[in-house]
Amino acid sequence: MSGEDAPAQQQNDVDQKQEKPAEEPKAETPKADPAPAAAAEAAAAPPAAADKAPEEETFTYRALVLTGYGGYDKVKLQVKKGKPALKAGEVLVRVKACGLNFADLMARQGLYDRLPSPPVSPGMECSGVVEAVGEEVTDRKVGDKVMVLNRFGLWQEVAVAPASHTFLIPEGMSFEEAAALPVNYITAYMMLFDFGNLRPNQSVLIHAAAGGVGIAATQLCKTVKDVTVFGTASASKHETISEGGVTHAIDYRTKDYVEEVRKISPKGMDIILDPLGGSDTHKAYNLLKPMGKLITYGAANMLAGQKKNLLAVAKNWYHQFSIHTLSLIQGNKSVCGFHLGYLDGETELITQTMNTILDLYKQGKIKPRIDSTWHLEQVGDAMRKMQERNNIGKVILTTEPMPEEEKKEEPKKEDKKEDKKKEDKKKEDKKKDDGKKEEKKDDKKKEEPKKEEKKEEEKKEDAKKEEK
Amino acid sequence: MSGEDAPAQQQNDVDQKQEKPAEEPKAETPKADPAPAAAAEAAAAPPAAADKAPEEETFTYRALVLTGYGGYDKVKLQVKKGKPALKAGEVLVRVKACGLNFADLMARQGLYDRLPSPPVSPGMECSGVVEAVGEEVTDRKVGDKVMVLNRFGLWQEVAVAPASHTFLIPEGMSFEEAAALPVNYITAYMMLFDFGNLRPNQSVLIHAAAGGVGIAATQLCKTVKDVTVFGTASASKHETISEGGVTHAIDYRTKDYVEEVRKISPKGMDIILDPLGGSDTHKAYNLLKPMGKLITYGAANMLAGQKKNLLAVAKNWYHQFSIHTLSLIQGNKSVCGFHLGYLDGETELITQTMNTILDLYKQGKIKPRIDSTWHLEQVGDAMRKMQERNNIGKVILTTEPMPEEEKKEEPKKEDKKEDKKKEDKKKEDKKKDDGKKEEKKDDKKKEEPKKEEKKEEEKKEDAKKEEK
């Protein structure tokens, strides 16, 4: 996967215009800007009209771009030119890490209508440092460490978003954690506590309990007294999810999860989180107790293989759950649909929820679990890992440049998938331990050295793989 | 409408057997029984085997019986013989007042499947005094004032129910209030706080805001900070419902309520309570904000006229709301169905909810509003008043015997419906004032005198009608 130079016009049909060289650049006030060279130089230079053109020409950044619908290779790493102009209320963020979400996988196959047509940069969440602020931005300043939530466009080294879509990263949270938090935790929180109205002594069925939302939901369930969590995942992940708070781990690959749940809880569930869609939504509905709530938030069953699988899509549509009110009334049941991607107008609601989540983080009650971190060049592998359900926790992209030697080794990773899984598990355990240590530190503004350490680890592990 | 003698076998096909002369009667311990003559005499007599037969023969009580599906005249007042036997865990209640519910109207037309086939005594709620307790009953004793919630069978002078379906009437609550409380307040509470998850600053649309559930829901909304209540009702009821807490009263008969709501709240509603069904459920769904909850709990639109109206039923079915999960996901919406009649197995949940409601009553935050009280002989008129939406608050039946002179005047009531409405309004205002006074009293164990006063008022009002 090689970097390509994206023509500037390519992005122009996108809602959120990130490149408008013709537009008058907004005044920026980079006071204590700790950001990279290009911006710093620009700030140092006198703001004469003559200097604008050179700055915009010399400013380049790498960006992942969905070039068309299809397989993993449709997301390409390109180099964009020119500093994005900021509108009033927007900030420019130097991105450190990005989160991968299921919607990104759907989008790549053309199954997610919140992403504009290709070519377009995907990415709904990232973390980074504010590098410039637009007019009317009062609550963010250059140098702020932030996480960003946006409809798309965040898988880039430099991203533009409304300041209201950014949240300050709390002390002690790494950029990876910050990139892992927004989508999964807001989704899990709103489903469980807004629609689900989770209360003590209730039972919750979490599908894909080892996924990003699954782990977030499990942790959030544990903030309520005596909640019983049923979690589905393949057997190899049971130990990890049980440690994370799942009361009853169920291997959906070898067992009928409905039967397993009924064995333990004959009356059924109070809340079911359903990311699967299709026939699994029907099963979930029938598994609800009276006053139970089914919250469906995806159609993962549609994803079969790299490219759009028409049979899977048709099957999902055919089995799509449709409910009559009379059945709801007689069953005393609730069916809810959730997707954060369709809530982008609800800034106040999202901010409120995010503040609650960050409080829980500060109290040590939740902590994002990073499955693995990948370079932008490795986005295909990162997506594959998630789509093939080989992750436990969040899959993260880092904007750190990829060392030359790793690039050469890359293809080998795919050859030994099983070994890789084990390695990932080890790496995770190590990171978890690191995470615990980190929590104890009070002041850790310097993120860079830690990343370097991790990269050293990764190198060592790749070396180990070589030995096998 | 005259009392008829119901053959004892008539009730035998009913689930809850209330008359089983052949069965061995359970031992009863009527210690300080304050109940009527027949029972008191029986208690005074020595418990010899020879006395059983006479007691059962001499024990008679009036009961309303649905004799077939159809118009108001299908509910007949009959006299039943023999003291109902109690199973373990059951209590026998001398009924003072009964609540009318929409489900009773549906049931009369054969549209409610929770009522067994006629002949059967309807009635889901009543209040009264415990007259006997079955074996294993430990938390109720003879003389306890209770309200009762049951699937059916409570429109009788004497009713049998599981002790777990009874709730102690708090100090200061009249029998009418107690009969008005269970169904409406549990329904409103569970819809708003379990499914609806109502929180400060939210907006709620309450259809039929002057009905029993509507008034309960309005009062419950007011227990949460800064909730905006939109209530539909005909214009003549607006003053009353506004005083009761409705922020924006909307006359659904002369205006398009969707337009009216949008004018005030362009984004729509957080919660909508829908007792109507059919096309109104569609409107409600479209009126929801993101993260909004539609709670449908009836199909009042099916009720058109006294007897089952096939066109109305068909129309309701045709327009019945059916929702696909994809629409729910893209809208971030929730659709819930509620009906207390299908929750009769959920004793713990109901008891918990009832305790919360009774706490709110004791704190003075809620108070059932009685629209009118009718004698058992007047059940047809009572049902008509409710079905024609002429009530503001709860329609109650009292088991007090009806004075002869009222029986003669009865047909005249129907002649002057408009005048009657006005009179009802006046009567209500009077009762409301009475209610306020009553709240201030600390000890009011003697309910009887108040009833007598009311009857005096009714007589006076009937006399006024005569003058017109």
- Does the residue B53 lie in any domain? no
Closest by Cβ to B296, choosing from A296, A325, A342: A325
* Amino acid (one-letter) located at B424: D
Place of tokens 């969707």: B258
B290:A343 CB<8 A: yes
The per-residue pLDDT for range A117-134, each reduced to its tens digit, is: 999 999 999 999 999 999
Closest CA to A285 of A254, A327, A227: A327
* Residues linked to residue A200 through DSSP beta bridges, in sequence order: none
A281:B336 CB<8 A: no
Q: Which residues of A touch B194 (CB under 8 A)?
A: 197, 291
Residue A221 confidence (pLDDT) above 70: yes
Least confident of A92-101, A286-295, B29-38, B327-336: B29-38
Closest CA to B295 of B276, B316, B268: B276
Q: Which residues of B touch A342 (CB under 8 A)?
A: 290, 329-332
Least confident of A79-88, A374-383, B3-12: B3-12
* Amino acid (one-letter) located at A352: Q
Does residue A44 or residue A339 have the better pLDDT?
A339
- Does the residue A280 lie in any domain? yes
- Does the residue B195 lie in any domain? yes
The rounded distance, in Å, linking the Cα atoms of A327 and A333 is 8
Q: Supply the angle between the helices B417-440 and B448-467 in degrees, to the nearest 10.
A: 150
The rounded distance, in Å, linking the Cα atoms of B301 and B283 is 14
| Residue A341: predicted pLDDT | 93
Residue B257 confidence (pLDDT) above 60: yes
Closest CA to B328 of A274, A181, A257: A274
Q: State the number of CA atoms in the 13 A half-sphere of B27 facing the CB.
A: 5
The rounded distance, in Å, linking the Cα atoms of B169 and B127 is 8
Task: Tell me if residue A215 falls in helix, strand or coil.
Answer: helix
Q: Which residues of A touch B324 (CB under 8 A)?
A: 320-322
| Residue B212: predicted pLDDT | 96
- Does the residue A398 lie in any domain? no
Residue B38 confidence (pLDDT) above 50: no
| Residue A57: predicted pLDDT | 66
The rounded distance, in Å, linking the Cα atoms of A466 and B409 is 101
Place of tokens 């362009």: B266
For residue B455, give both structure tokens: 């009857």
The rounded distance, in Å, linking the Cα atoms of B274 and B1 is 34
Q: Tell me the range of A414-423, A428-437, B286-295 where mean pLDDT is highest.
A: B286-295
In A222-265, which ranges are continuous DSSP H helix? 238-244, 257-264
| Residue B462: predicted pLDDT | 44
- Does the residue A67 lie in any domain? yes
A334:B334 CB<8 A: yes
A290:B342 CB<8 A: yes
Least confident of B47-51, B147-151, B338-342, B356-360: B47-51
In A146-225, which ranges are continuous DSSP H helix? 175-180, 182-189, 212-221
B329:A339 CB<8 A: yes
Which range marks the domain in which residue A285 is found? 184-358
Q: Supply the angle between the helices B347-362 and B182-189 in degrees, to the nearest 10.
A: 100
**B123 and B226 in a common domain:** no
Average pLDDT in chain A: 81
The per-residue pLDDT for range A231-270, each reduced to its tens digit, is: 999 999 999 999 999 999 999 999 999 999 999 999 999 9
| Residue A296: predicted pLDDT | 95
| Residue B451: predicted pLDDT | 42
Residue B46 confidence (pLDDT) above 60: no
Closest by Cβ to A332, choosing from B293, B321, B339: B339
The rounded distance, in Å, linking the Cα atoms of B344 and A268 is 17
The rounded distance, in Å, linking the Cα atoms of B323 and B305 is 29
Closest CA to A29 of A99, A101, A131: A131
Closest CA to B238 of B263, B255, B221, B223: B255
The rounded distance, in Å, linking the Cα atoms of A4 and B233 is 65
Distance of CA A166 to the CA centre of its chain: 15
Place of tokens 């409304």: A162
Backbone φ, ψ for residue A98 (5° rounding): -130, 150
Sequence-ordered list of residues with C-beta below 8 angstroms from that of A157, at least 6 positions apart, any chain: A61, A62, A63, A94, A95, A376, A399
- Does the residue B22 lie in any domain? no
| Residue A2: predicted pLDDT | 37
Predicted TM-score (pTM) of the model is 0.78
Closest CA to B24 of B80, B75, B86, B78: B86
Three-class SS string for B217-248? HHHHHCCCCCCEEEEECCHHHHHHHHHCCCCE
Question: If pLDDT is split at 50, 70 and 90, which confidence band does A462 have?
Answer: very low
The per-residue pLDDT for range A7-58, each reduced to its tens digit, is: 333 333 333 434 333 333 344 433 433 444 444 444 444 444 444 555 656 8
| Residue B55: predicted pLDDT | 60
Minimal C-alpha gap between A195 and chain B (Å): 7
Which chain A residue lies closest to B342 (C-alpha atoms)? Answer: A330
**A196 and A308 in a common domain:** yes
Which chain A residue lies closest to B271 (C-alpha atoms)? Answer: A195
Minimal C-alpha gap between B115 and chain A (Å): 14
Element (H, E) at A395: strand A394-398
B343:A195 CB<8 A: no
The rounded distance, in Å, linking the Cα atoms of A169 and B200 is 28
Closest by Cβ to A337, choosing from B195, B197, B329: B329
Q: What percent of chain A has pLDDT over 90?
A: 65
B329:A293 CB<8 A: no
Q: Tell me the range of A427-441, B9-23, B47-61 where mean pLDDT is highest.
A: B47-61
The rounded distance, in Å, linking the Cα atoms of A335 and A344 is 22
Backbone φ, ψ for residue A123 (5° rounding): 110, 115
What average pLDDT score do residues B322-327 get? 85
What average pLDDT score do residues A284-311 get? 86
Q: Which residues of B touch A296 (CB under 8 A)?
A: 325, 328-329
Three-class SS string for chain B? CCCEECCHHHHHHCCCCCCCCCCCCCCCCCCCCCCCHHHHHHHHCCCCHHHHHHHHHHCEEEEEEECCCCCHHHEEEEEEECCCCCCCCEEEEEEEEEECCHHHHHHHCCCCCCCCCCCECCCCEEEEEEEEECCCCCCCCCCCEEEEECCCCCCECEEEEEHHHEEECCCCCCHHHHHHCHHHHHHHHHHHHHHCCCCCCCEEEECCCCCHHHHHHHHHHCCCCCCEEEEECCHHHHHHHHHCCCCEEECCCCCCHHHHHHHHCCCCEEEEEECCCCHHHHHHHHCEEEEEEEEECCCHHHCCCCCCCHHHHHHHHHCCCEEEHHHHHHHCCEEEECCHHHCCCCHHHHHHHHHHHHHHHHCCCCCCCEEEEEEHHHHHHHHHHHHCCCCCCEEEEECCCCCHHHHHHHHHHHHCHHHHHHHHHHHHHHHHHHHHHHHHCCCCCCCHHHHHHHHHHHHHHHHHHHHC
How many domains in chain B?
A: 2
Q: State the number of CA atoms in the 13 A half-sphere of B268 facing the CB.
A: 17
Q: State the number of CA atoms in the 13 A half-sphere of B191 facing the CB.
A: 36
Closest by Cβ to B325, choosing from A320, A329, A330: A320
The per-residue pLDDT for range B372-431, each reduced to its tens digit, is: 999 999 999 999 999 999 999 999 999 999 888 776 554 333 333 444 444 444 444 444
Q: Which residues of B touch A331 (CB under 8 A)?
A: 337, 342
The per-residue pLDDT for range A358-409, each reduced to its tens digit, is: 999 999 999 999 999 999 999 999 999 999 999 999 999 999 998 887 765 5
Closest by Cβ to A296, choosing from B194, B329, B345: B329
Residue A455 confidence (pLDDT) above 50: no
Domain end marker among B301, B334, B358: B358
A330:B320 CB<8 A: no
Residue A466 confidence (pLDDT) above 90: no
Residue A447 confidence (pLDDT) above 90: no
What average pLDDT score do residues B131-136 get? 97
| Residue B326: predicted pLDDT | 86
The rounded distance, in Å, linking the Cα atoms of B188 and B217 is 5
CATH label of the domain that carries residue A137: 3.90.180.10
**B289 and B164 in a common domain:** no
In A190-237, which ranges are continuous DSSP H helix? 212-221
Domain end marker among A332, A358, A384: A358
Q: Say if residues A428 and A421 touch (Cβ distance below 8 Å).
A: no
Q: Which residues of A touch B335 (CB under 8 A)?
A: 323, 325, 328, 334-336
Taking only residues 254 to 283 of chain B, the set having a beta carbon closer than 8 angstroms to any beta carbon of chain A reads: 277, 281
Size of chain A in residues: 468
Here the ipTM equals 0.78
Q: Which residues of B touch A325 (CB under 8 A)?
A: 277, 281, 296, 320-322, 335, 337
Domain end marker among B303, B333, B358: B358
A298:B329 CB<8 A: yes
Place of tokens 């009702």: B233
**B337 and B189 in a common domain:** yes
Q: State the number of CA atoms in the 13 A half-sphere of A264 facing the CB.
A: 16
Element (H, E) at A425: helix A417-440
CATH label of the domain that carries residue A272: 3.40.50.720
For residue B119, give both structure tokens: 């002949």
What do you get for the CA distance between the two ends of chain A, in Å? 26
A337:B321 CB<8 A: no
**B200 and B177 in a common domain:** no
B291:A333 CB<8 A: no
**B223 and B159 in a common domain:** no
**B166 and B206 in a common domain:** no
CA distances from A264 to A228, A241, B346 (A): 11, 18, 19
Q: How many CB pairs under 8 A join A and B?
A: 127
Closest CA to A295 of A278, A275, A320: A275
Sequence-ordered list of residues with C-beta below 8 angstroms from that of A24, at least 6 positions apart, any chain: A85
Q: Is B37 exposed, middle or buried (0-12, 13-18, 19+ CB in 10 A)?
A: exposed
What average pLDDT score do residues A94-116 get? 93
- Does the residue B286 lie in any domain? yes
Q: What phi-psi label fits residue B52: left (phi over 0), alpha (psi between -120 and 50 degrees) or beta?
A: alpha
What average pLDDT score do residues B248-276 get? 96
**B127 and B191 in a common domain:** no
Q: Which residues of B touch A330 (CB under 8 A)?
A: 337, 339, 342
Q: Tell me the range of A310-319, A415-424, B458-467 where mean pLDDT is highest.
A: A310-319
| Residue A408: predicted pLDDT | 58
Sequence-ordered list of residues with C-beta below 8 angstroms from that of A70, at least 6 positions apart, any chain: A108, A109, A306, A307, A308
Taking only residues 313 to 342 of chain A, the set having a beta carbon closer than 8 angstroms to any beta carbon of chain B reads: 320-339, 342
**A344 and A260 in a common domain:** yes
**A329 and A190 in a common domain:** yes
**A338 and A265 in a common domain:** yes
Backbone φ, ψ for residue B396 (5° rounding): -120, 145
Greatest CA separation found in chain A? 75
- Does the residue A248 lie in any domain? yes
| Residue B408: predicted pLDDT | 58
Element (H, E) at A294: strand A288-296
B336:A335 CB<8 A: yes
**B79 and B226 in a common domain:** no
| Residue B174: predicted pLDDT | 98
Count Cβ atoms below 10 Å from residue B322 Cβ, excluding itself: 14
Which chain A residue lies closest to B192 (C-alpha atoms)? Answer: A197
Q: Which residues of B touch A332 (CB under 8 A)?
A: 337-339, 342-343
| Residue B398: predicted pLDDT | 98
| Residue B53: predicted pLDDT | 56
* Residues linked to residue B205 through DSSP beta bridges, in sequence order: B230, B272
Count Cβ atoms below 10 Å from residue A390 Cβ, excluding itself: 20
